[in-house]
């Protein structure tokens, strides 16, 4: 029997139900509530939130935001802009090419979380909610209002998996947990974005420059936060605002432009990084900058081994130590057993060459292993290196490394008469010692990036990817797996040796304790591997961003004391749970991780499969 549907039934639009537990609010008032709440959030940032300046940032001034109020203002402004874009306001709607609803939720969450964190921080530091001025209460109410309105907006109902009553209680629990997580993601899921519109080349380049300038501004602000509460608020705001921009489609759109103008992006990123020391009044934060670059360079070298070739190396930090020890021994320091003083070019070649030799010596007998077995062997090599350096003190072994005292008094580098250890004036700016090494390390990072790019796009790079995806199939197609993996191991080791050369001269001292598998101070093997996985394996920018975050955040979270690693580990677990492909993922790996989220019968677009990320 055939069933007919009336015209009235066909005219009824399909309406998605809001997530369980939310009060149903019509879409129109909900969008108005979120937009109005964003506008009022901006206004509330100009009010006094507390009566005393004892809370850092001075939140007592009417008409001028201070400290954490600036972060709430930025999140509120983004919420208001996305709300106006959802109404199709001409000139504003272009900021959300992938839709506004999911982005609006994250922006409202950024304002709500930052404002309420500030209110609780004020109460905790000053001794109770009585220390809040009316402006603080207003900020809390309007951000909560905006967040409730944003949550009431429609969301994409995802595909869920049925629960079989015959399964065990544990299996049923896992299915229900997975479905709940999928529904939660669906509430914050963006619409399917249209392909980015091709603009004039000069306009696309201007957008890239603006994105790089914004990145420099955000990094400079974050690294220069003056007190602990401000840095935590900064992390909350930046994290949720970045998620909002990503859901709005802006991040994907800028990524498309950078893929079209790779050389412009590379030069622009290099110039933006080079401008960082000129934004600082002293050498304090240039110190963090140079260590971030050392950490990032080593992580990028490890990305060749792990991200491209798929070899799990848990002792990679040992190659950094080999380069540092080798370069320090020929630097002319009185604590070196060799009376040799080579110029910088000789020292850097010795450091990279020593790491290359050790990479070949360790890789030749071990790279026939796979998976966990290879990981255990490389972990053992890392510990052997540290113990050997610790015992080479003249009593437990040969007198080469001075044991636990290490090699000290390493002189500063001099290149063509330029002394990296003294201040220099460039264009009216005073550049200190760490800023000098920052520029040197930036050049080395650029070299490593170029090596990575050329290797990735070469024949050997495609062989690495084939080995990573399926070694058995690659061997069947005629690829010499052992030789290809050995090249990756040796190249990654030599790049770590380059960074180790500079590290030895920056720190003045090289000791075995600097090169452990895991400790609270990066770089170490655990942090290096986390930087690659967190940033995005197989990409260039991923490990650089991951290394910067993994070095900067623990450095800024030292006030947590014994809870520092707990908070840091919890953040990593949550990030890997909700974004397992990394912050800047390889496109193909991103599709692999989220293949289960596709609807039954749905296939990823061919255009997405052809892109490998940046």
Bond into 419 cis (ω within 30): no
Average pLDDT (102-111) is 93
Q: Classify residue 569: in a domain, yes or no.
A: no
104 vs 153: CA distance, rounded Å: 9
Nearest to 35 by CA among 122, 121, 97, 96: 96
The H-or-E segment that residue 122 falls in is helix 101-126
Report the alpha-carbon angle 111-94-92, nearest 5.
60
pLDDT at 26: 62
The H-or-E segment that residue 415 falls in is strand 414-415
**DSSP at 402:** -
- pLDDT class of 154 with cuts at 50, 70, 90: confident
Question: If 0-12 CB within 10 Å is exposed, 13-18 middle and 19+ buried, where does residue 334 land?
Answer: exposed
586 vs 535: CA distance, rounded Å: 10
Decide: helix, strand or coil at residue 341: strand
Paired residues of 302 in beta bridges: none
The reply to whether 185 and 295 lie within a common domain is no
Residue with tokens 């850097």: 348
pLDDT at 6: 39
Residue 62, φ and ψ in degrees, nearest 5: -85, 135
Position with higher pLDDT, 225 vs 145: 145
Above 90 in pLDDT, residue 40?
A: yes
pLDDT at 146: 94
The reply to whether 188 and 307 lie within a common domain is no
Residue with tokens 């090419």: 97
The reply to whether 505 and 397 lie within a common domain is yes
pLDDT at 206: 92
- pLDDT class of 75 with cuts at 50, 70, 90: very high
Q: Classify residue 511: in a domain, yes or no.
A: yes
Chain-centre distance of CA 462, in angstroms?
A: 25
DSSP for 18-82, please give it: PPTTSPP--HHHHHHHHHHHHHHHHHHTTS--BS-TTSTT-TT-TTS--THHHHHHHHHHHHHHH
Above 90 in pLDDT, residue 122?
A: yes
Token pair listed for 236: 């909350």
Q: Classify residue 49: in a domain, yes or no.
A: yes
Above 80 in pLDDT, residue 342?
A: yes
Decide: helix, strand or coil at residue 275: coil
Token pair listed for 150: 């944003």
Position with higher pLDDT, 85 vs 567: 85
Nearest to 530 by CA among 494, 572, 559: 572
pLDDT at 589: 63
The reply to whether 309 and 442 lie within a common domain is yes
Residue 582, φ and ψ in degrees, nearest 5: 100, 170
Could you read off the pLDDT of 165-222 as tens digits, one per residue?
Answer: 555 665 655 555 655 555 555 555 555 555 556 778 888 899 999 999 999 999 889 8
Decide: helix, strand or coil at residue 200: coil
Which percentage of the chain shows pLDDT scores above 90?
20
Contact 247, 192 (CB under 8 A): no
- In sequence order, what are the residues at sequence separation of 6 or more whose Cβ sits closer than 8 angstroms to the Cβ of residue 443? none
Position with higher pLDDT, 190 vs 326: 326
The reply to whether 456 and 339 lie within a common domain is yes
Above 50 in pLDDT, residue 578?
A: yes
Above 50 in pLDDT, residue 612?
A: no
The H-or-E segment that residue 458 falls in is none
- In sequence order, what are the residues at sequence separation of 6 or more whose Cβ sits closer than 8 angstroms to the Cβ of residue 338? 329, 330
Is the alpha carbon torsion for 610, 457, 362, 504 positive or negative? negative
Contact 96, 106 (CB under 8 A): no
| CA distance readout (Å), 521 to 110, 191, 294 | 30, 41, 13
508 vs 421: CA distance, rounded Å: 11
Q: Find the domain containing 70 and state its range.
A: 18-157+164-192
Q: Classify residue 253: in a domain, yes or no.
A: no
Could you read off the pLDDT of 447-486 as tens digits, one per residue?
Answer: 888 888 888 888 898 998 898 888 888 888 888 888 998 9
**What is the number of domains present in the chain?**
2
| Listed residues 505, 523, 541: the one ending a domain | 541
* pTM to 2 decimal places: 0.79
Above 50 in pLDDT, residue 23?
A: no
Residue 519, φ and ψ in degrees, nearest 5: -155, -175
523 vs 23: CA distance, rounded Å: 48
The reply to whether 302 and 185 lie within a common domain is no
pLDDT at 236: 93
Above 70 in pLDDT, residue 22?
A: no
The reply to whether 186 and 294 lie within a common domain is no
107 vs 110: CA distance, rounded Å: 5
Above 70 in pLDDT, residue 68?
A: yes
The reply to whether 485 and 354 lie within a common domain is yes
Above 50 in pLDDT, residue 139?
A: yes
Q: Mean pLDDT over all residues of the chain?
A: 81
Above 80 in pLDDT, residue 550?
A: yes
Chain-centre distance of CA 88, in angstroms?
A: 33
Average pLDDT (275-294) is 84
pLDDT at 194: 53
Q: Lowest mean pLDDT of 149-158, 251-260, 368-377, 404-413, name the range.
A: 149-158
- pLDDT class of 12 with cuts at 50, 70, 90: very low
Q: Classify residue 378: in a domain, yes or no.
A: yes
- pLDDT class of 114 with cuts at 50, 70, 90: very high
Q: Classify residue 337: in a domain, yes or no.
A: yes
Radius of gyration of the chain (CA): 27
pLDDT at 180: 54
pLDDT at 513: 84
CATH code, 495: 1.10.3470
The reply to whether 286 and 188 lie within a common domain is no
The reply to whether 508 and 382 lie within a common domain is yes
Is the alpha carbon torsion for 114, 116, 119, 120 positive or negative? negative
Position with higher pLDDT, 386 vs 191: 386
The reply to whether 188 and 287 lie within a common domain is no
**DSSP at 283:** S
351 vs 500: CA distance, rounded Å: 7
Nearest to 248 by CA among 24, 70, 84, 22: 84
| Listed residues 144, 172, 192: the one ending a domain | 192
Above 90 in pLDDT, residue 252?
A: no
The H-or-E segment that residue 353 falls in is helix 344-366
Which percentage of the chain shows pLDDT scores above 70?
82
421 vs 423: CA distance, rounded Å: 7
Could you read off the pLDDT of 355-365 as tens digits, one per residue?
Answer: 999 989 888 88
pLDDT at 520: 59
Decide: helix, strand or coil at residue 392: coil
Token pair listed for 284: 């304090």
Q: Classify residue 333: in a domain, yes or no.
A: yes
Question: If 0-12 CB within 10 Å is exposed, 13-18 middle and 19+ buried, where does residue 290 land?
Answer: buried
Q: Classify residue 603: in a domain, yes or no.
A: no
Decide: helix, strand or coil at residue 430: strand
| Listed residues 541, 566, 593: the one ending a domain | 541
DSSP for 184-199, please give it: HHHHTPPPPPPPPPP-
């Amino acid at each position: 029997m055939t069933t007919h549907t009336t015209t009235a039934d066909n005219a009824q639009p399909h309406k998605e139900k809001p997530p369980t537990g939310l009060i149903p609010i019509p879409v129109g008032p909900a969008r108005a509530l979120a937009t109005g709440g964003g506008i009022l959030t901006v206004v509330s940032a100009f009010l006094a939130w507390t009566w005393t300046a004892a809370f850092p940032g001075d939140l007592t001034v009417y008409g001028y935001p201070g400290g954490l109020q600036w972060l709430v203002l930025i999140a509120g402004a983004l919420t208001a802009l996305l709300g106006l874009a959802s109404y199709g306001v001409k000139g504003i709607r272009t900021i959300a090419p992938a839709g506004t609803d999911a982005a609006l939720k994250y922006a409202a969450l950024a304002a709500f979380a930052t404002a309420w964190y500030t209110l609780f921080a004020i109460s905790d530091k000053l001794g109770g909610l009585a220390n809040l001025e009316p402006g603080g209460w207003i900020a809390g109410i309007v951000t909560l209002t905006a967040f409730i309105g944003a949550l009431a907006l429609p969301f994409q109902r995802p595909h869920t998996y049925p629960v079989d009553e015959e399964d065990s209680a544990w299996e049923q629990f896992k299915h229900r947990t997975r479905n709940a997580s999928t529904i939660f993601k669906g509430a914050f899921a963006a619409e399917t974005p249209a392909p980015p519109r091709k603009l004039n080349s000069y306009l696309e380049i201007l957008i890239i420059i603006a994105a790089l300038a914004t990145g420099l501004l955000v990094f400079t602000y974050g690294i220069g936060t003056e007190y602990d509460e401000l840095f935590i608020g900064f992390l909350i705001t930046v994290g949720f605002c970045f998620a909002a921009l990503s859901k709005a489609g802006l991040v994907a759109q800028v990524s498309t432009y950078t893929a079209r103008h790779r050389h412009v992006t590379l030069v622009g990123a290099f110039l933006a990084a080079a401008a960082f020391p000129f934004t600082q009044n002293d050498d304090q934060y240039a110190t963090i900058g140079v260590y971030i670059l050392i950490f990032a360079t080593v992580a990028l070298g490890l990305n060749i081994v792990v991200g491209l070739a798929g070899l799990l190396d848990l002792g990679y930090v040992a190659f950094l130590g080999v380069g540092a020890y080798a370069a320090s021994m020929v630097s002319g320091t009185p604590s070196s057993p060799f009376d040799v003083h080579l110029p910088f070019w000789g020292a850097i070649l010795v450091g990279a060459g020593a790491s290359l030799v050790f990479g070949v010596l360790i890789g030749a007998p071990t790279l026939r292993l796979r998976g966990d077995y290879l990981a255990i062997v490389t972990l053992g090599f890392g510990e052997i290196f540290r113990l050997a350096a610790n015992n080479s003190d003249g009593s437990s072994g040969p007198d080469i490394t001075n044991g636990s005292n290490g090699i000290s008094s390493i002189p500063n580098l001099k290149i063509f008469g330029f002394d990296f250890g003294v201040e220099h004036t460039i264009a009216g700016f005073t550049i200190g010692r760490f800023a000098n090494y920052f520029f040197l390390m930036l050049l080395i990072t650029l070299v490593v990036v170029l090596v990575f790019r050329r290797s990735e796009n070469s024949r050997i790079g495609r062989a690495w990817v084939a080995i990573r995806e399926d070694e058995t199939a690659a061997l069947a197609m005629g690829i010499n797996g052992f030789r290809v993996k050995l090249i990756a191991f040796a190249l990654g080791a030599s790049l770590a040796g380059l960074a180790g050369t500079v590290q030895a001269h920056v720190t003045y001292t090289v000791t075995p304790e600097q090169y452990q598998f895991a400790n609270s101070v990066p770089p170490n093997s655990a942090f290096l591997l986390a930087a690659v996985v967190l940033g995005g394996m197989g990409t260039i920018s991923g490990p650089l961003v991951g290394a910067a975050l993994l070095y900067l955040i623990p450095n800024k979270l030292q006030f947590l004391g014994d809870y520092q690693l707990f908070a840091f580990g919890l953040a990593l677990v949550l990030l890997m749970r909700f974004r397992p492909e990394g912050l800047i993922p390889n496109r193909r790996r991103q599709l692999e991780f989220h293949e289960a989220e596709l609807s039954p019968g749905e296939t990823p677009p061919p255009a997405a499969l052809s892109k490998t990320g940046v």
